[in-house]
């Protein structure tokens, strides 16, 4: 007996959601490999290698790589595979020009529209970031930073802003993580500016959240300019 059209459509929709979910998981996992430097700049990988390493099918991996290419994290090189792009210090300053405005909008909206549970998580994550910094745990900090971004986007409830800012954040996260070892105090400064933003959202203070977001972006810009002056593979400042 033929299944009703509505049931077939429901099954198709479910399959699409499942595929989308796996692609999101693949995107997050590959992005972390790139951001952390596990996949270094100019290294080559294949869909098959990544699929095997992550235990995720090649179709969602392929979709994730397409998104990462649009985000500027990888380049598809015919006959050679997927190349991780280089870190461009100067590009960060252009990225921050755009990101600053979007982050301020998202922070203000998050302070206004966050639900009680989201506000509580903002308060808790502020403490966790400060603790990660005190312990010098850069990997933990990176994971919390990703959660902060997700929490901001969820609380702001503006999917257009979320979609627009995602690739800019990925480029910034990668740049920060691969250079923070050369910047004395950068982990502590980063944790403090993030914590101020999270606590402003916890309190529901939209204007303070916007101001805290600006301070966070000022810290990130100063960090980029210092790296431009003293590249991470060059002489350290005295």
Chain centre distance of CA 162 = 11
Interhelix angle 58-70/47-54, rounded to 10 degrees, is 120
Structure tokens at 198: 């999270």
Chain centre distance of CA 91 = 17
Backbone angles phi, psi at 44, to 5 degrees: -110, 140
Average pLDDT, rounded, for the chain? 86
Taking only the tens place, the pLDDT of each residue in 77-125 is: 988 899 999 988 788 889 999 999 999 999 999 999 999 999 999 999 9
Portion of the chain with pLDDT greater than 70, in percent: 85
Query: pLDDT at residue 184 above 80?
Result: no
Query: pLDDT at residue 191 above 90?
Result: yes
How crowded is residue 197: how many other Cβ atoms within 10 Å of its Cβ? 27
For 151, half-sphere exposure in the C-beta direction (CA atoms, 13 angstrom radius) is 25
The pLDDT value given to residue 26: 93
Opening angle at CA 205, ends 175 and 212, nearest 5: 25
pTM above 0.75, yes or no: yes
Of 7-11, 48-52, 186-190, 227-231, the range with the lowest mean pLDDT is 7-11
Taking only the tens place, the pLDDT of each residue in 15-44 is: 333 445 899 999 989 999 998 889 999 999
């Amino acid at each position: 007996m033929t299944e009703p059209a509505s049931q077939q459509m429901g099954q198709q929709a479910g399959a699409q959601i499942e595929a989308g979910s796996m692609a999101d998981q693949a995107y997050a996992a590959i992005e972390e490999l790139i951001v952390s430097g596990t996949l270094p700049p100019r290294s080559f990988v294949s869909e098959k290698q990544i699929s095997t390493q992550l235990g995720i099918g090649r179709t969602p991996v392929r979709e994730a790589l397409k998104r990462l290419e649009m985000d500027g994290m990888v380049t598809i090189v015919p006959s050679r595979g997927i190349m991780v792009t280089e870190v461009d210090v100067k590009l960060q300053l252009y990225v921050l020009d755009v990101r600053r405005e979007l982050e301020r909008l998202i922070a203000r909206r998050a302070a206004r529209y966050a639900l009680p549970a989201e506000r509580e998580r903002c308060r808790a994550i502020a403490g966790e970031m400060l603790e990660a910094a005190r312990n010098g745990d850069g990997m933990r900090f990176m994971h919390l930073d990703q959660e902060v971004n997700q929490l901001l986007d969820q609380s702001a409830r503006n999917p257009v802003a979320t979609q627009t800012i995602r690739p800019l954040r990925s480029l910034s996260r990668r740049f920060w993580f691969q250079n923070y070892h050369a910047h004395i105090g950068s982990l502590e400064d980063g944790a403090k500016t993030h914590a101020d933003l999270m606590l402003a959202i916890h309190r529901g203070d939209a204007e303070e959240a916007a101001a805290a977001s600006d301070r966070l972006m000022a810290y990130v810009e100063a960090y980029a300019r210092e790296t431009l002056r003293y590249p991470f593979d060059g002489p350290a400042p005295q």
